A and B are shown apart, each in its own frame.
Chain A
Amino acid sequence: MTTETTVDVIDKVLGLGPSSPLLALREQRAKLKHLTQTSYVAALHPADPRNFSYAERATLAARMAALWASQELLAHYRDLATTEGASGDVLSIADPAWKPEDEASRLAVILRHVDLVTKNPKAATRENIEKLYAAGLDDRDIVTLAGIIAFVNYQVLVVAGLKMLRDN
C-alpha cells in the first residue's frame, strides 16, 4: 500500500527525532499512540475504501487541515493526495475556497458537510444528514464520511496540543 503505516504520522509532521523529549513523552502513552496511527490508516487507507477513494480521502483531509490552518498536516495530506493519485476535481478538494460547478452534485454536498462539521459542528442537524442521503449516500457512506471528518479533527487537535508542548 502507498500509505506508510510504519512511520508515525504525528511524529513525522512535528519533526520528532529519536532524541526529542516530546517523542519520549508520547512513548509513555505507547498504546494510544499506536491506536492513533492505526485509526489514521483506517480513516485514510482502509482495506476496503468502497465509495470514498484513497485520493478523495486524502484531499478531504487536506481540506480540513487547511480549514484549521494546520500547516504541518496540510503539507502531509497534500503529499499523500499526490501519492494516492489525486487529479482534476479531486485534487481541488484540498482547497477550502474551491467549489464544484454543480452545487447539487454529490461532491458539493459532501464538501459543505465536511466544512460545517469541521468548523462548526454544533450547527449540524438532522437536515444535514438528509442532504447526504438526497445526494445518493447510503448509511455506511454517511458513517464513513463522519468517521473521516471526526478522525482528522482529532488529529488536528492532537497536533495543535503537542506543538504547545514542543515549543513551550
Chain B
Amino acid sequence: MSDAVHEFTLDALEWHPYVQPVDLQKATPEQLDALKVTPSNTKVSAYVLVLAQETEMLAERSPLFNDIMYSDGGLSRGGRELGALAASFVNHCIYCAQVHANRFIQLEKRPEVVDEIYTNGLEADLGEYDQALFNFGVDLTAHPDNVGVYQFYHLRETGLSDLEILDLIHSVAIFGWANRLMHTLGEPHRKD
C-alpha cells in the first residue's frame, strides 16, 4: 500500500479511513436511504460509508453540502470552490484541497490561480477578485472570532452582491465542517 500523503498535491488521491466504514452488505434500511443507494448506484466512497455510521446526520448533511456548492444563481461555482480551497488550506485537509483545486481548474480554466495557492499557500498573491474571496475564506476559517472588517469591505469593493457573499460564507463554512471530518477521520494516499 502506498504511504499516506501529508503535503498538498494535485495528484489523484484516495482516502483511507481510521474508523470502520459501514458494510454495504449489512447496511440497515435507514443507512441505505441516507446513502441514496439504488440498484444502479452501488459504488459508495469509503468517506460516505464512514459517515453512514451516523445516519441521521448524514441524511441532512449530503443535500446541505450539495445545495451550498451547486445551487443556481449567486456566487459562481468557481467562486465557491475557491472558498472551499481557502478553508482546506487553513485546515490542512490535503484530500479536500486536491478535489476542489482540480474542480476549480476544470470550471474556471485558470490553473495559474491554483498554482499560486499551491506555491505560496495562505500568502498567495492573486488577482483582485480571487484575492478578496480567498482572503475572506482564510480569515473566516482561521479565526471566526475575529474576522477582519477590511476583508469584508474588500468583498463589497470587488462588487460582490449580498447573495454572492452569503454563498461564499456558506462555501467556506461547509468546509469548516468537511475538513473536520475528512482530515480527522482518515488520510489520503496516492492512487497507484
Measured CB to CB, the residues of A under 8 A from B are 25-26, 28-29, 31-32, 35-36, 38-39, 42-43, 46-48, 68-70, 117, 121-122, 124, 126, 128-130, 139-140, 142-144, 146-147, 149-151, 153-158, 160-162, 164-165, 168
Contact = CB atoms under 8 A, between A and B. Distances in A.
B162 interface: yes
Interface string B161-174: 01101111110111
A32 B67 contact: yes
B63 to A, nearest CB: 6
B144 interface: yes
Q: Is the interface of A mostly helix, strand, loop or mixed?
A: helix
15 contacts: A28-B74, A28-B166, A29-B166, A32-B67, A35-B63, A122-B90, A122-B91, A129-B18, A139-B19, A139-B53, A143-B51, A150-B181, A156-B144, A157-B176, A162-B169
Given A31-B71, A68-B144, A160-B145, A154 B152 contact: no
B105 to A, nearest CB: 23
B116 interface: no
B57 interface: yes
B64 A160 contact: no
A47 B56 contact: yes
Q: Is the interface of B mostly helix, strand, loop or mixed?
A: helix
A32, A144, A168: most-surrounded residue (chain B CB, <10 A): A32
B: contact size bracket: 35 or more
A168 B50 CA distance: 40
Contact of A150 (B56, B74, B141, B178): B178
A6 B91 CA distance: 33
B91 to A, nearest CB: 5
B181 A161 contact: no
A42 B178 contact: no
Contacts of B168: 161
Nearest to B169: A161
